[in-house]
Structures are given as C-alpha cells and as structure tokens.
C-alpha cells in the first residue's frame, strides 16, 4: 500500500487551486474595469438612449446579501419624455437584494441613492422611462423596492393616468448638538441629543394631484420603507394645501404596502376643498376648523384616538376607526359634542359642495374633471350607492344641538349601525320643546327605492313652546305626548313624505285654554259676549287628543277631541302632506247650557297660516275618543 499522506496533500492542493480559480473568476466577473463599460453599452443598445456607469461592482453586502454598486451613473431620458433633463444622474447607486423572489419579482431590500437626481415618468399608456432592457414593456413591475436611503437627492415622479406630479428634494440634517450644549442636556430641548439623531433627512416636496397643489416638508430617519418590511422610521413635518394644513409627528413605515403609522396629527384651516383628491368634492365656503388626534394605522385599519375637533361653532371629541380589511370597508365611531350645529356637520360631510362654483380655479378644478362629473352623475342617480358598499357603527351624543330651521331643537343622541345595506338607528333621543322624542328607525337600502320604518314616541313637550304667543287670549298650555308608527319608500325627502303610511296619535294633558277661545270654539255666543265684558281667563284643559292614519300623501284625522272644563269638541279631517293644506270639521258640545248656542259645525281649511273658517251643517259628534280612555 502506498503511503496516504501524498494523496491527502494532492487533494488539498486541488481544493486550493479551485478556490483560487473561483475567486479569480468572481473578481473578474465583478470587476469595474470591463463590467461598467459592457453593461452601459448593452443597456444603451436596448433602450435606445445613452447609459453610462463609471464603475459597477457586484458582491455581497450586509448580512452576505447580494449587492450591486453603481458609481458615476448617467442615463438619458426616454425619447418620449422630457429630454432636457436626464432620467438619472447620480454619484452612486446601491441595490441590496434578497436571496428569494416574491410574487415573481426580485426583491430590493434597500436602495441607496447619493448626490444627484432621478426623474420617473409613467405615461397613461403604461410606458415607464425607467425600463431600460425593454422600453416598450407595459406589463407589471419586475422588482419590489422595500426601502430607500436618500442622500442629497432630487427625485420626481409623474403618473399621467393618476394625474399626479411629485417633486422632492432630500438634504442632510445637522444632527450635532448646539456648541457648548451636551447632547443629553434637557436644556437643548427635543430637537437635540438622541431624539434629534433620529432625524437625518429633510425632504421638501411639491405635489400636484388631480388639479390640487400640495406642498410641505418632512424630517425623517435614515431610510424610508415602502413595502412590507415591518420597519418604521421617525417622521415629523407638515403638508399644506390651499386653505388648510396638516402637521404630523411620530413614526411611519411601509408607505406603499402594509402601511403603518403612529403619529400625533393636527389638521387646521378654513376649507376642505384642497383635500378633494382624498375625501371627495367639498365646497369652498370658508369655515374655521381644527382637529387633533393620534393617528394609528396598522393592517389596513386607520384609528383616530383621543380625537378632538372644532368646526365653526361645533366641537366633537371621541374615537374614530376606518377599516379597509375584508370585502367591505367599515367605519366605527364614538363621538360626543358639548355644542353642535347641523350646518357645521353638513359642511364637514360636503353636503354644500354645490357652493364650490366660487372656489379658486386650483381648488375647484377637481369638480370639473370628467371622472368627478361621472361620479356626481352616479351619485345623483343613486344617492345611496356608497352606503350600500359600506358597513359601520356610530354612536353620537350632543348636549346642545342646533338646526337653524328647527329652533326648538335642543339635544341629540343616537346609535346607528349599517350592515349589508341595512341601516338601523336605535337609542334615538331628540330633545326639543322641553321634552324628548325617542325611538328607532330602520332603512333598507338594498331595495330600490329604499324602504324606511320608524317607531317614535314623544313625551314632555310643552305645547306653548310650539305655538308661542304673548296674547293670553290665544295661549294654550299642556304637556304633549305622541306616538308614531310609520313606513315610507323613496330616494329623497319629497318621495318619502309622499309615500309615508302608518298611524300617529297625540294627546295633550294637564293644560289650559283661554275662555274666549273655548267659547268661540263651542259656538256659545252668550259666553263670548260675557268674556268680552269680563275678560278672558285660563280654563282647565284636562285632555285633548288626535289620531291620524297616513297613506297616499294624506293624513286622515279619524278622531280629534278637545275636552275642556266647559266644552267637548270633536272632529275629523284631512291634511295634505306635500303642501300642508288642511280641511278639518269640528263639532262642539257645551257641557253646560248657555245663551245663543249655534247648532253648527266649524270648518277650517287652507294652508297655514292663511286659514279660512266657516260654519257648516252640524255633524254628529264622536262618541268615543282617546280622552275617554278608549279608541274611536
């Protein structure tokens, strides 16, 4: 047997030679002397424009990940783009790759850009000026870019189909503490020391999106993450649009996919018209507003925590969450107001967007765009289309609630749930006239037209607040109570009112009625003359009641009674709901005989306040009414 040592030595020598050869091949393959020139010539030929690299190095970077380093990058713009400026001119570009692909794309875990400019353009037909190997490729992208580390970079992006034009400029921040002040000294404030070291980039930007100009500035960390990294970066800054401003201070991450934000946010201004690309068309009517909240975004859920807002004369506080998870977006809110005005809330939701005709051209432009016009047409033909696609739960309470058209309104509370196109309002409590109306309302938006049902009850309303007068001869008092069970169908208030059907009852208790009015209603001429001589006084009105059946655009009063101390008056009638015209006939029954009693009935007709009164043939009085403890 030959000795084993020579064989072992031969094998070791072979391994060393192969290692040297492989290392030499790797060095040769990644060497900048020939690779930069060859790659530049190859891409110039493929793209039809000049592509130049001073050096190109391939190797392993942090964590032994593949890395490509390009220095002295100069790439001309596409022939169809703005050729007066390059696509890219950079001192250095570094691409760090993941070892795996994701969704059939290469993953760039970090892109580092140093000293220069990049101008990205995507045309409406899908062409991109950054595609060099195949300039006519209009298909999906080939790379996922997870993070960007900018160093003194000017970057712009124009997306024709989205009507978006973004221009940014990144510059270095001075993170050194003030001279003579230790970095950890509290006197240096929050902008220095360890906190200040988090912010290393200042990014100034201008954005024009759907005709609206945005501008602002943000301080950020060393990297900006775009795509499912799970990493956040510090950010503080502000965005300005015509008439409004947003300020943020916190952390953000994965801006394009897997967005995460945790930041204190403040929005203020005098108009929401500038946010039209984000929240839809809004009128340009000026109204002061300021809203502050902690914005937390995670897993497609946007939460506004500890939110407080002031819109005109309305204050709102509470929690708000918007979710885009699942098949349907959803909204959850628990809000309260010390004082609220319906006009402010309508302004906030854009109900007065038609006023935008007087807006400046830069702000009003979105309303004139064909896409917006088409959306308006759809909304006009189906005003509940968006509600059918949304789920939500809202609880709202206002201690003082004002509606200019309803001065008697005092407060409002409700809890609403929208689920699968069915709206249910429960715990409804409307304070007005010294009392409250409570009940439930349901609307089925799945049907065309939508169907609505309501069960409402009113208690404690003072009748004198509904018909205030300083004339004691006309003053009626008492506590009003009503019950209503209603159904209706329609796309707007007019059609709902025309189709309403159901039953309404109303009773008045513990009230008073002027003796003159009681005598006139009772057709007792003797008592009328005596009241003129002695003066009118308040008579007890223990009970008054009415029952109406609604349907076909009419309210048919099947029972009406006014039961005072001296007279019992009953009647029937009809109220036309669309215009409010009435036709009622009353038959009085004096409880004590008197002089000159007219055996007639009274007809009251017309549209308030212009009513006509006439005496007609006497109708038989009703035998049983709500005041008798029975049903008519």
Taking only the tens place, the pLDDT of each residue in 562-608 is 998 888 999 999 999 888 899 999 999 888 776 677 888 999 999 98
**In sequence order, what E strands does 123-227 have?**
143-145, 147-159, 164-172, 201-209, 212-220, 224-225
DSSP state of 186: G
Query: What is the arithmetic mean of pLDDT over 256-276?
Result: 92
Query: What is the arithmetic mean of pLDDT over 510-524?
Result: 86
pLDDT of residue 285: 83
- The β-bridge partners of 73 are 90
Range in 4-8, 48-52, 211-215, 301-305 the model is least confident about: 4-8
pLDDT in tens, 285-294: 899 999 999 9
Closest to 73 measured CA to CA, from 124, 115, 31: 115
Residue 11 pLDDT class (50, 70, 90 cuts): low
Range in 60-64, 284-288, 381-385, 491-495 the model is least confident about: 381-385
pLDDT greater at residue 198 or residue 335: 335
CB contact at 8 A, 369 and 400: no
Q: Which residue has the tokens 């921040």?
A: 173
Query: What is the arithmetic mean of pLDDT over 372-393?
Result: 67
Query: What is the arithmetic mean of pLDDT over 317-330?
Result: 92
pTM, 2 dp: 0.78
Q: At 135, list the tokens.
A: 């300039």
Three-class SS state of 409:
strand
pLDDT of residue 436: 95
**Mean pLDDT over the full length of the chain:** 85
Whether residue 534 is predicted with pLDDT greater than 90 in this model: the reply is: no
Query: Pairing state of beta strands 143-145 and 105-122?
Result: parallel
Phi, psi of 279 (to 5 degrees): -110, 0
Q: How far apart are CA 178 and CA 181, in angstroms?
A: 5
**One-character DSSP codes across 576-622:** ETTT--EEEEEEEEESS--SSB--EEEEEEEETTEEEEEEEEPPPPP
- C-alpha distances out from residue 121 to 79, 83, 246, Å: 12, 12, 28
The number of CA neighbours under 13 Å toward the Cβ of 211 is 18
Q: How far apart are CA 110 and CA 97, in angstroms?
A: 7
Q: How far apart are CA 43 and CA 70, in angstroms?
A: 14
Residue 117 pLDDT class (50, 70, 90 cuts): very high
Whether residue 362 is predicted with pLDDT greater than 50 in this model: the reply is: no
Which CB contacts under 8 angstroms, 24+ apart, belong to 569-573?
Answer: 569/521, 569/522, 570/621, 570/622, 570/625, 571/601, 571/619, 571/622, 572/622, 573/604
Q: At 396, list the tokens.
A: 């709202």
Residue 15 pLDDT class (50, 70, 90 cuts): low
Closest to 73 measured CA to CA, from 61, 57, 84: 57
pLDDT of residue 526: 75
Query: Pairing state of beta strands 451-462 and 435-444?
Result: antiparallel
Closest to 433 measured CA to CA, from 456, 478, 463: 463
Whether residue 244 is predicted with pLDDT greater than 60 in this model: the reply is: yes
Closest to 67 measured CA to CA, from 103, 110, 102, 17: 110
Query: What is the arithmetic mean of pLDDT over 510-516?
Result: 89
Secondary structure element (H or E) that encloses residue 46, with its range: helix 32-47
**One-character DSSP codes across 521-561:** HTTBHHHHHHHHHH---EEEEEEEEEEEEEETTEEEEEEEE
Range in 188-192, 455-459, 626-630 the model is least confident about: 188-192
pLDDT in tens, 213-231: 999 999 999 999 999 999 9
Query: What is the arithmetic mean of pLDDT over 310-319?
Result: 96
Q: At 389, list the tokens.
A: 């696609």
Whether residue 184 is predicted with pLDDT greater than 50 in this model: the reply is: no
pLDDT greater at residue 394 or residue 191: 394
**One-character DSSP codes across 215-267:** EEEEEE-S-EE-BS----EEEEEEEEETTEEEEEEEEEE-SSBS-EEEEEEEE
Whether residue 191 is predicted with pLDDT greater than 60 in this model: the reply is: no
Whether residue 371 is predicted with pLDDT greater than 50 in this model: the reply is: no
CB contact at 8 A, 558 and 547: yes
pLDDT in tens, 52-88: 999 999 988 888 889 999 999 999 999 999 889 999 9
Q: How far apart are CA 281 and CA 265, in angstroms?
A: 22
pLDDT of residue 452: 93
Closest to 417 measured CA to CA, from 439, 390, 436, 447: 390
């Amino acid at each position: 047997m030959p000795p084993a040592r020579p064989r072992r030595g031969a094998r070791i020598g072979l391994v060393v030679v192969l290692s040297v050869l492989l290392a030499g091949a790797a060095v040769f393959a990644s060497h900048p002397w020939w690779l930069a020139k060859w790659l530049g010539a190859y891409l110039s030929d493929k793209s039809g424009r000049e592509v130049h690299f001073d050096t190109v190095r391939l190797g392993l970077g942090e964590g032994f990940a593949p890395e490509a380093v390009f220095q002295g990058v100069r790439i001309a713009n596409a022939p169809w783009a703005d050729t007066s400026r390059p696509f890219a001119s950079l001192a250095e570009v570094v691409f760090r790759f993941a070892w795996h692909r994701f969704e059939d794309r290469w993953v760039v875990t970090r892109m580092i850009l140093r000293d220069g400019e990049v101008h990205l353009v995507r045309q409406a037909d899908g062409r991109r000026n950054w595609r060099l190997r195949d300039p006519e490729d209009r298909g999906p992208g080939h790379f996922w870019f997870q993070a960007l580390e900018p160093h003194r970079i000017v970057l712009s992006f124009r997306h024709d189909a989205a009507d978006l034009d973004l221009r940014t400029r990144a510059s270095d921040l001075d993170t050194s503490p003030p001279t003579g002040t230790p970095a950890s000294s509290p006197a240096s404030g929050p902008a220095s020391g360890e906190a200040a070291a988090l912010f290393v980039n200042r990014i100034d930007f201008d954005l024009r999106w759907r005709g609206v100009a945005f501008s602002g500035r943000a301080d950020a960390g060393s990297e900006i993450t775009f795509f499912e990294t799970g990493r956040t970066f510090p950010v503080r800054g502000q965005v300005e649009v015509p008439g409004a401003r947003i300020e943020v201070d916190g952390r953000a991450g994965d801006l394009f996919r897997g967005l995460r934000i945790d930041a204190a946010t403040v929005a203020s201004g005098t108009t929401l018209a500038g946010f039209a690309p984000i929240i839809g068309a809004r009128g340009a009517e000026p109204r002061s507003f300021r809203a502050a909240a902690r914005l937390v975004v995670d897993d497609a859920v946007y939460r506004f925590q500890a939110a407080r807002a002031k819109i005109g004369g309305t204050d709102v506080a509470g929690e708000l969450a918007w979710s885009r998870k699942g098949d349907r977006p959803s909204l959850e809110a628990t809000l309260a107001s010390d004082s609220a005005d319906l006009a402010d809330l309508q302004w906030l939701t854009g109900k007065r967007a038609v006023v935008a005709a007087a807006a400046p051209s830069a702000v009003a432009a979105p309303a004139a765009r064909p896409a917006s016009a088409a959306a308006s047409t759809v909304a006009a033909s189906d005003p509940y289309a968006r509600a059918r696609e949304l789920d939500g739960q809202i609880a709202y309470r206002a201690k003082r609630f004002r509606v200019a058209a309803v001065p008697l309104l005092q407060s409002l509370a409700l809890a609403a749930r929208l689920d699968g196109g069915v709206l249910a309002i429960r715990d409804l409590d409307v304070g007005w006239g010294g009392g409250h109306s409570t009940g439930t309302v349901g609307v089925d938006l799945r049907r065309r037209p939508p169907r609505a049902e309501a069960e409402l009850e009113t208690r404690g309303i003072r009748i004198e607040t509904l018909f205030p007068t300083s004339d004691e001869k006309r003053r009626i008092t008492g506590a009003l109570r009503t019950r209503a069970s209603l159904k209706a169908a329609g796309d707007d208030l007019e059609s709902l009112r025309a189709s309403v059907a159901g039953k309404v009852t109303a009773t008045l208790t513990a009230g008073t009625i002027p003796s003159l009015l009681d005598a006139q209603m009772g057709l007792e001429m003797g008592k009328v003359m005596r009241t003129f001589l002695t003066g009118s006084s308040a008579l007890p009105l223990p009970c008054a009641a009415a029952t109406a059946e609604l349907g076909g655009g009419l309210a048919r009063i099947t029972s009406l009674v006014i039961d005072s101390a001296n007279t019992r008056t009953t009647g029937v009638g009809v109220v036309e709901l669309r215009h409010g015209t009435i036709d009622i006939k009353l038959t009085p029954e004096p409880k004590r005989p008197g002089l000159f009693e007219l055996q007639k009935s009274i007809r009251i007709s017309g549209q308030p306040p212009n009513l006509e009164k006439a005496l007609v043939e006497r109708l038989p009085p009703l035998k049983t009414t709500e005041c008798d403890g029975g049903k008519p």
